[in-house]
Amino acid sequence: MGKNERKLLVIGIDQAIPYLLRKFLKDGMLPNIQMLVNNGIMGEGYSCAPCDTPTNWTTIATGTTTAIHGVTSFYLHLPGESLDLGMKYRSRTQLYKNCMAQYLWDVADDNGFKPFVLNYPSGWPSIFKNGVMSLFTWPIPSSLPKMLIKSEIHTIISDPDNDFNKNSIGKYIIDIIDNLSQNLNMSIENPSHYTKIIKIKLNKINRENQIYDSLKLTTNDKGNYEIIKEKEWSQWISININSEYGILPSLFRIKLLKIDPSGKSIQLERSGVYNTKGWSVPDSFGEKLVKNVFEYDLPKKMDVEFMIYGKMKHYLEFARNESLSLVQAIDFAKKDMDWDFCFFHYHPLDTINHDLLAYLHKDSRVYTEKKAEKALKNVETAYRIVDEMVGELMKRCIDKDTITLFISDHGAIPIWKVANIIKILIEAGLMDYKFN
């Protein structure tokens, strides 16, 4: 068998607790993870101290302990620095330069394999000869923001001050982005240039009648255009944003939601405005992810098969969208670059466990039967979202030649009381703080 015929997919699920996994597996709630168990080996291991995210994902990615790789929690003190800098530069342990061990994906890359590392809380930015590293939702220092402006829906009504026949809708859209950018201390680079080449106008069904059913979009000075009908997205539109990080090449697109046949009003969705620089190595792959993964419409078959409700509803919906977007990115990368090794990380379980476990413990001050019942349903939903993600990966990215590792970095216990050790030491005269 050739060296590139076997592949490795590391499904990294932050704070997947063995006790809860076993409970939900026994209850039949996690059929896809159960399939992994039935066809493989399940075991438990100890986390390296300190038992947190950057430390143990680095251990998993290097195969070494904290004493070797030196990634000591979120806060790193370097010899010779003042003690407060470790707090000031939070999360710099996740930077490649601050890890003293070699990453497994670097070994793979050096030996001609193609690694794809996605949303991983360690090793940024690894520079590959053959592979790709990309951030996603997890924040890491020394990177640039992926999304500059969130998506919005706009209804534009024709009136004497905004006549579609005199002013292009494209100028309206550019003005909106420019105003939003200024609120974020950014501006569009040479806006007059874009208002000349980005033109969006109403389009008639035919020249003889006055019925409008689409938009005519021109995005270059050569006059090339595309026709967008209702419910359709435009092609991606390039624009430069002048920011505190310098000029960022960015992309957005337009979706025609509704058009009045008489041309008196239109409803448009403007996608998020995405920067394509500084969050993927190489940058060119970040642009591919924007165009092929972000802002995509989920097919109807992906309708959720379990209830999402309660005070965590919004977060759980976000977590599900993130999980399916990760699958989309991994699937796209497999087709585009044919990765040999894929490491990725998914964090929402960590938040769910921290927020809800106390409601499940009878000794907790916040425990009631009613609260416990609601909390358990939300925890179950979170784990079912992970199981759904595993199922989609099985369909799209895993075959008989793919070695699959489902792994977590650490667990958690219910917390409802915090002991402030620093306060105790200060009151005892054993520590002194100068607060900044």
* 3-state SS track over 384-404: HHHHHHHHHHHHHCCCCCEEE
Nearest to 21 by CA among 33, 39, 9, 36: 33
Distances from the Cα of 332 to the Cα of 31, 243, 338, angstroms: 25, 30, 9
Residue 207 has a pLDDT of 67
Whether 419 contacts 35, CB under 8 Å: no
Q: What is the DSSP string of 339-393?
A: -SEEEEEE-HHHHHHHHHGGGG-TTSTT--HHHHHHHHHHHHHHHHHHHHHHHHH
Within 13 Å, how many C-alpha atoms sit on residue 271's CB side?
24
Query: In 10 A of CB 122, how many CB atoms?
Result: 30
Query: In 10 A of CB 247, how many CB atoms?
Result: 12
Q: Is 201 exposed, middle or buried (0-12, 13-18, 19+ CB in 10 A)?
A: middle
DSSP alpha helix (H) spans, 133-261? 169-183, 191-197
Q: What is the token pair recorded at 313?
A: 């509803």
The rounded distance, in Å, linking the Cα atoms of 121 and 74 is 10
Q: What is the DSSP letter of 234?
A: P
Whether 277 contacts 248, CB under 8 Å: yes
Query: In 10 A of CB 5, how many CB atoms?
Result: 8
Sheet with 265-270: list strands edge to edge: 152-157, 265-270, 254-259
Nearest to 285 by CA among 428, 69, 116: 116
Domains of the chain: 7-143+280-407 (3.40.720), 147-275 (no CATH)
Its pTM stands at 0.90
Backbone angles phi, psi at 317, to 5 degrees: -65, -40
The rounded distance, in Å, linking the Cα atoms of 202 and 400 is 52
The rounded distance, in Å, linking the Cα atoms of 391 and 388 is 5
Q: What is the token pair recorded at 205?
A: 């069904």
Q: What is the DSSP letter of 68?
A: H
First to last CA, the chain: 61
What angle do helix axes 313-337 and 283-292 make, rounded to 10 degrees?
A: 120
Within 13 Å, how many C-alpha atoms sit on residue 152's CB side?
12
Encode the chain (436 residues) as per-residue pLDDT tens digits: 345 579 999 999 999 999 999 999 999 999 999 999 999 999 999 999 999 999 999 999 999 999 999 999 999 988 899 888 888 888 999 999 999 999 999 999 999 999 999 999 999 999 899 999 999 999 999 999 999 999 999 999 987 776 777 778 998 999 999 999 988 899 999 999 998 889 999 988 766 777 889 999 998 878 889 999 999 999 999 999 999 999 999 999 999 999 999 888 999 999 999 999 999 999 999 999 999 998 765 554 455 555 555 678 899 999 999 999 999 999 999 999 999 999 999 999 999 999 999 999 999 999 999 999 999 999 999 999 999 999 999 999 999 999 999 999 999 989 888 888 988 999 999 998 777 6
Residue 1 has a pLDDT of 37
Q: Which residues pair with 265 in a beta bridge?
A: 157
Residue 303 has a pLDDT of 56
Rg (CA), the chain: 25
The rounded distance, in Å, linking the Cα atoms of 68 and 265 is 64
The rounded distance, in Å, linking the Cα atoms of 42 and 37 is 6
Residue 309 has a pLDDT of 54
Within 13 Å, how many C-alpha atoms sit on residue 65's CB side?
4
Whether 388 contacts 346, CB under 8 Å: no
The rounded distance, in Å, linking the Cα atoms of 379 and 372 is 10
Cα dihedral 141→105→397→409 (10° resolution): -60
Nearest to 403 by CA among 106, 104, 19: 104
Residue 252 has a pLDDT of 96
The rounded distance, in Å, linking the Cα atoms of 219 and 227 is 12
Cα 93 to chain centroid, rounded: 20
